[in-house]
Amino acid sequence: MAERLAPKKRDWSWRSQAFRGIIYQLIAVGLLAFAVWWLASNTLENMRVRGIQSGFGFLLQPAGFDIGESIIEFDSSNPYWKAFLVGLSNTLRVAIIGIFFTTILGALIGIGRLSRNFLLRGVCTWYVELFRNIPVLIQLLMWYFILTTVLPPVSDALHLGPGMYVSKSGMSFPIPEWGFGQALAAAGMVVGLVVSWFYRRWAWAQFERTGIPRATLWPSLAIVIGCGLIGWAAGGAPTALEFPEKTEMNVSGGGAVTPEFLAVMIGLTIYTAAFVAEIVRSGIQSVAWGQTDAGSALGLSRGQQLKLVLLPQALRVIIPPMTNQYLNLTKNSSLAVAIGYPDLVSIANTSLNQTGRAVECIAIIMAVYLTLSLTTAALMNWYNARAAIKER
């Protein structure tokens, strides 16, 4: 019977490379901590000498200013922390909606660049070359100029349909009067999303077992809409809508978005979609042409080849750079301050001017954007791990 080997003891002498590596790392961490402490203490001392107040206690004081656009109720008597919360909600609204529309538009443009139709391919190519080569700030200013100059005044607002008006003051539209029925409808749609996810997994398992593709898009939409309608019916089938009303001076009631929000959304979406389109195009073209030939040999249509053969393999190339574009869109939303949209940076600038707490306000901005970026990266890395092709 082989003699059992004794576990190797760790060498804690200076001659050990592992021991020296630990010491060097501890020294590096200590020097970094000392540098941070020295900078912070010197900054606080210089601020004290100059009579500049410091600390985050101002967040509990009344803000003393109003915010023109907010999905959270706010007035000037509310504290600064709530003002920052409003700015964060406005930033998140731009980021989430912008990422959604950017993904759809960018994917369509990227696929269009590979079309056999010369006109469609040319239009998509010109879109990419035009919008990705104009600075995003210029595009935001351009769209804001168009929305506030070309459109008519609110007294002559364009009537686009029942309860929909567009003018220099923004867009007004009807919204449902929220109640128990709407809450059940929303809950039903959430349940529908879960059911559709299980259905897609079942459809994919059936395809792998039988080789017969099953429709997933339209059945999934039908499930979500159907569950929402069931919840809506169970809640009494409410149909009450709050419609905007146009008067001689303005449009009141209903839902509304400002031209600043529209300019930010349109500008960021169109700009970022040009980069996403190139990512999608290059990802699809990275798949070997033999895969397309194999799909044709199996009798798959071009749409089925794209969905079942090309995109699953292209995702491992598409997702990492797509994450960068999502991060860029979120961070570029800070440029909205140039056109007066009350995002986090705008609220922080106003708070800084009123309180003089420059370090604290800048620290809040940095912490928020760092958190948003790390969260986005973590979600995309999780999705990238799930979409990766598993090899034996």
Write the secondary structure of the chain as one string of H (helix), E (strand) and C (coil). Answer: CCCCCCCCCCCCCCCCHHHHHHHHHHHHHHHHHHHHHHHHHHHHHHHHHCCCCCCCHHHHCECCCCCCCCCCCCCCCCEHHHHHHHHHHHHHHHHHHHHHHHHHHHHHHHHHCCCCCHHHHHHHHHHHHHHCCCCHHHHHHHHHHHHHHHCCCHHHCEEEECCEEEECCEEEECEECCCHHHHHHHHHHHHHHHHHHHHHHHHHHHHHHHCCCCCCHHHHHHHHHHHHHHHHHHCCCCCCEECCEECCCCEECCEEECHHHHHHHHHHHHHHHHHHHHHHHHHHHCCCHHHHHHHHHCCCCHHHHHHHHHHHHHHHHHHHHHHHHHHHHHHHHHHHHHHCCCCHHHHHHHHHHHHCCHHHHHHHHHHHHHHHHHHHHHHHHHHHHHHCCCCC
Contact (CB, 8 A) for 300 and 310: no
Please state whether the predicted TM-score (pTM) of the whole model is above 0.75: yes
CATH placement of domain 80-143+259-387: 1.10.3720.10
Cβ density class 43-64: b for 16+ within 10 Å, e for less: eeeebeeeeeeeeeebbeeebe
Beta-carbon contacts of 87 under 8 Å, excluding residues fewer than 6 positions away, are: 67, 342, 343, 344, 345, 346, 347, 348
d(CA 171, CA 164): 7
Residue boundaries of the structural domains of the chain:
80-143+259-387
Burial class (CB in 10 A: 0-12, 13-18, 19+), 250: middle
Cα 49 to Cα 32: distance, rounded to the nearest angstrom: 26
Nearest to 327 by CA among 361, 368, 373: 373
Task: Give residue for tokens 């731009």.
Answer: 94
Q: What is the pLDDT along the chain (392 residues), one digit of tens a residue?
A: 445 555 556 667 777 777 778 888 999 999 999 998 888 788 777 767 776 666 788 888 888 888 888 888 888 889 999 999 999 999 999 999 999 999 999 999 998 998 888 899 999 999 999 999 999 999 999 999 998 888 888 877 887 877 788 888 888 888 777 777 778 888 888 888 898 888 888 888 887 787 777 777 788 888 888 888 888 888 777 777 777 777 777 777 777 888 899 999 999 999 999 999 999 998 888 887 777 777 777 777 777 777 777 777 888 888 889 999 999 999 999 999 899 899 999 999 999 888 888 888 898 999 999 999 999 999 988 888 877 766 55
- Give the count of alpha carbons within 13 A of 98, CB side only: 29
Q: d(Cα 75, Cα 83) in Å, to the nearest integer?
A: 9
